[in-house]
Structure 1
């Protein structure tokens, strides 16, 4: 009997139970049986609360995932890749220095020496600035390349007057690479958000399994205490022997259910450990003493503000990664369309080189750049090209317009789906709040029925089977309440994700 008192006291968190003068035998056994049956099955974990070092919160998990998870780190590489794409595109505007020399000497006779060195600097607005030095001497040098022995220096411009004036391949490449930065950032946020959302859902599944394990563990303990009390009553002749068989069967059923819950909790712990990595990219496991934070209680079942759904839908339209990706694609296609439209113009390029004999130009000698000098010392070139049918250019432009239209339609559809998802998750939020309130009442009613059945049993009007049935209904109601709490927490995270934010 002392052992039974100790067991019941442990079920009450170690509190000491005091008993007044009671009649030994049936009265004591009835009291023990009532205490065992009436011990509350709390919705929160009934095991002794761990210290703060053992509680692994959702915030802890999300911090691990965002900073160390391989998928998060992989997503973090996307903006860097886009930055390098921009650098690559800007490389098209890098200055280029070229030099070439051709000479011929045969049987001791010098035929020619032709040397050309040039520095070319592309400018954003389509033109190229160039400067160079030429020297062509020899008896058989090409007259076009002939210069005095001192050589010929020049400075000039190459200007497109039609195609390439407003936009060209170099500027289009930079603009598209800049749009790619927005696309990469949206892809990074989208991948990270999905990872964090799944991590949050798995965390609350872990918390649910822990809660279920605690409830079933308490339930099994109550059945074991009841079994011992009933056996004592059978020995005293108060109950039939078949009642002890009924109580034993119930204990065994609950032990089997508890074993299954224990395995589910271990598997949920292993699943959550998949998100944990060290700074050295080594996988980590949750320590055995780690427990989750409690499921959201009644104080957390908040209603959404009246205008919050519309505000979230509007926010999602602005920041949702899927929509930002579609806008970035449209921006890239818009740059390409400008380039293809410009290619319908003819290629008309003007080249002008100002010449000076001998050493390179000295900007400190403005007299050398007089009007008569500019009129008599230059090399001018004009090139023109224009395909007569423009079939390739017109086809490329039309294909671009079709792609742009497809992207715009995708954006419209994605916008509608995002807004619908926000409203749908918000509806789930409100529905779960109602279900939680109703389920909480169901739990109270199940407690009343269980306690009432216990009183009837004490008065000899009920049986062990009915008490077990009432208690099973109560445990089932509490487990369902925990499931709704877990689903409510997951819905909170899903709503943040649906609005384009990061689950918390």
Structure 2
């Protein structure tokens, strides 16, 4: 239902809304629409799917593997050998790997090691890495990094959405400013037009000199020009805001001219603005997860400094009809041990050194980013406080301009003032109102920058769309 209502607002459908029908688009409605329908949001969500695919791929290294093979040799009408082996290998999340299978060999010229009972041989056992691979191996490292990459992808998503919503908010405030200026100048033009009509009538009746009609006409023309310029800026700001309006990420929408912003828009975010960074910031969390991935790389490179020492043990059981384990004996088994180690370890030492350098670079980047965000947060907060104070003060100034205009207009009606002074008072009031609107815009924009820097838009999005 909400989607259909917003579509009616955003589409230019004059058949639905008449010229006198105005619909209000709130700031939060805009952000909700952008978060749910903008193509950049949809694209960013695909990063999570990509990270999930990476986890699945890494888990694939632990998938059990079935194998089978048959190798025969026939020569001079003789069966030299027929070798058959089939089974399954099961990697475990540790330095272990299980292996079980069935082997059957026959032929006139079998090697002694391949000679088996005629019914074949069952085997099953375990392979253990006691050196390199005991604490961590390539498979476990890849899985751990893939799981961290999922968290990292979520932080990257939040950063993209945070910037997108901040940009959309900037466009909304610019649209709101242009709309309020247009309303102000429309009112001023109407007042000037009414005064021009009154002066013309007075001039015809001989109560006013005809030159006053020129004075009133010049003010009306000046305000009319400013009003047309304001309408142009309103159209431009409406189109700029429409850049953020899409339907389901595929169809661009155009903001209806009959849609207006809230009179007193309330920016979302913290109840009380603060210059302190939140405990969890996507930009800093992203670097933290990168450091965690580098720590896994360090552990794996350090593990490569250890020699490879592999121990295997496989009990053997002769196949015996329907009872495979009937012939089990602890005396029948194979076992083995393997050892290898590079003499100079240059690959492992070089890899470990490179990971250490990357870790140092990432840590320094995190420290710099933290300081940058903290300083920006303090600067935006100061800008917001100062601008808010100036806005409150200047609001009183505009009230004074209005009182002067009303007083001068009363004197003019009583014949105690000139039209020139009335027009001057009105221009002061109009210009003061415009400056007040610009100060209010700067106040909202400073708060918008503060919330964007502190990732409030990201937290808003996460609480709505990413929390389980």
Relative to the length of structure 1, the TM-score reads 0.82
Residues 1:479 and 2:444 are matched in the alignment: no
Distance 1:147 1:464 in 2: 120
Match of 1:228 in 2: 197
Distance 1:145 1:419 in 2: 72
Bigger Rg over Cα: 1
- Figure out how many residues of one structure are paired with residues of the other and give that number: 438
**Equivalent residue in structure 1 for 2:61, among 92, 97, 122:** 92
**Equivalent residue in structure 2 for 1:342, among 285, 297, 303:** 303
Match of 1:43 in 2: none
CA contact (8 A) 2:35 2:161 kept: yes
Residues 1:144 and 2:109 are matched in the alignment: no
Match of 1:29 in 2: none
SS in structure 2 opposite 1:116? Answer: strand
Match of 1:15 in 2: none
Distance 2:289 2:380 in 1: 27
Gap change, CA 1:362 and 1:190, over 3 Å in 2? farther
Distance 1:336 1:304 in 2: 42
Distance 1:217 1:147 in 2: 102
CA contact (8 A) 1:154 1:360 kept: no
CA contact (8 A) 2:39 2:249 kept: no
Match of 1:428 in 2: 383
> How far did 1:129 drift?
0.4
Match of 1:387 in 2: 342
Match of 2:144 in 1: 175
CA contact (8 A) 2:287 2:362 kept: yes
CA contact (8 A) 1:150 1:359 kept: yes
Distance 1:362 1:456 in 2: 118
Distance 1:427 1:364 in 2: 80
Bigger CA drift: 390-399 or 494-503?
Answer: 494-503
Match of 1:401 in 2: 356
> How far did 1:147 drift?
1.7
Gap change, CA 1:361 and 1:496, over 3 Å in 2? farther
> How far did 1:424 drift?
1.7
Match of 2:8 in 1: none
**Equivalent residue in structure 2 for 1:418, among 348, 373, 389:** 373
SS in structure 2 opposite 1:141? Answer: coil
Distance 2:226 2:242 in 1: 24
SS in structure 1 opposite 2:246? Answer: coil
Write out per-residue CA displacement over residues 288-309 of structure 1, whole angstroms, 9 at most, x where no aligned residue.
3211101459xx9xx986xx63
> How far did 1:356 drift?
1.3
Any residues of structure 2 matched to 1:50-61 within 5 Å, and which? 54-61=23-30
**Equivalent residue in structure 2 for 1:293, among 245, 250, 262:** 262
Write out per-residue CA displacement over residues 181-213 of structure 1, whole angstroms, 9 at most, x where no aligned residue.
111000111111111111111111111111000
**Equivalent residue in structure 2 for 1:500, among 455, 458, 465:** 455
CA contact (8 A) 1:273 1:286 kept: yes
Any gaps of 5 or more consecutive residues in structure 1?
1-49
Any residues of structure 2 matched to 1:123-202 within 5 Å, and which? 123-202=92-171
Bigger CA drift: 219-228 or 100-109?
Answer: 100-109
CA contact (8 A) 1:105 1:112 kept: yes
Match of 2:33 in 1: 64
Any gaps of 5 or more consecutive residues in structure 2?
1-19, 461-468
Distance 1:414 1:280 in 2: 32
Gap change, CA 1:498 and 1:235, over 3 Å in 2? same
SS in structure 1 opposite 2:339? Answer: strand
Distance 2:105 2:42 in 1: 59
Match of 1:378 in 2: 333
Residues 1:321 and 2:282 are matched in the alignment: yes
Distance 2:321 2:143 in 1: 34
Write out per-residue CA displacement over residues 345-380 of structure 1, whole angstroms, 9 at most, x where no aligned residue.
001111211111225996876xx55xxx32x31111
Write out per-residue CA displacement over residues 411-431 of structure 1, whole angstroms, 9 at most, x where no aligned residue.
111111222222222112211
Distance 1:166 1:261 in 2: 69
Gap change, CA 1:362 and 1:71, over 3 Å in 2? farther
Distance 1:199 1:361 in 2: 73
Bigger CA drift: 152-161 or 463-472?
Answer: 463-472
Bigger CA drift: 243-252 or 273-282?
Answer: 273-282
Residues 1:444 and 2:399 are matched in the alignment: yes
Residues 1:357 and 2:357 are matched in the alignment: no
Distance 1:167 1:339 in 2: 6
CA contact (8 A) 1:204 1:490 kept: yes
> How far did 1:154 drift?
0.5
State the superposition RMSD in angstroms.
Answer: 2.3
CA contact (8 A) 1:296 1:486 kept: no
**Equivalent residue in structure 1 for 2:291, among 330, 352, 361:** 330
Gap change, CA 1:409 and 1:132, over 3 Å in 2? same
Match of 2:11 in 1: none
> How far did 1:259 drift?
0.8
Distance 1:295 1:265 in 2: 18
Distance 1:500 1:254 in 2: 42
Distance 1:362 1:91 in 2: 33
Match of 2:186 in 1: 217
Distance 1:344 1:83 in 2: 32
